[in-house]
């Protein structure tokens, strides 16, 4: 069995390296083949959900850890 790799990108998407099966909100299955990479939206602003479209960089998205650290500096 090949393991799935998931990496949380700093202030960006979740990067997945397959094989993995993703089910969208309508129950449609999206298959990511072994060794292929996809980026899943973490900011909530993508127009291609569940996939990242780069919106996080346009809206200044900060991951939870970065946002909490910034708030505690104030």
The residue-averaged pLDDT of 10-21 equals 94
> How many Å apart are CA 58 and CA 67, to the nearest integer?
16
Render pLDDT for 21-74 as a digit per residue (tens, 0 to 9).
999 889 999 999 999 999 999 999 999 999 999 999 999 999 887 656 766 776
pTM: 0.80
CATH code, 58 = 3.40.5.90
Its domain, for residue 17, covers 5-73
Structure confidence at residue 64 (pLDDT): 81
Number of domains within the chain: 1
Dump the DSSP string for 8-22: EPTTS-EEEESSEEE
* 56 neighbors 11 (Cβ within 8 angstroms): yes
In the predicted model, is pLDDT for residue 16 greater than 90? yes
């Amino acid at each position: 069995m090949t393991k799935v790799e998931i990496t949380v990108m700093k202030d960006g998407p979740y990067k997945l390296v397959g094989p993995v099966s993703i089910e969208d909100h309508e129950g449609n299955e999206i298959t990511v083949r072994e060794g292929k990479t996809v980026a899943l939206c973490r900011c909530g602003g993508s127009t291609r959900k569940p996939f990242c479209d780069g919106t996080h960089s346009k809206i200044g998205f900060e991951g939870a850890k970065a946002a909490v650290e910034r708030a505690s500096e104030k």
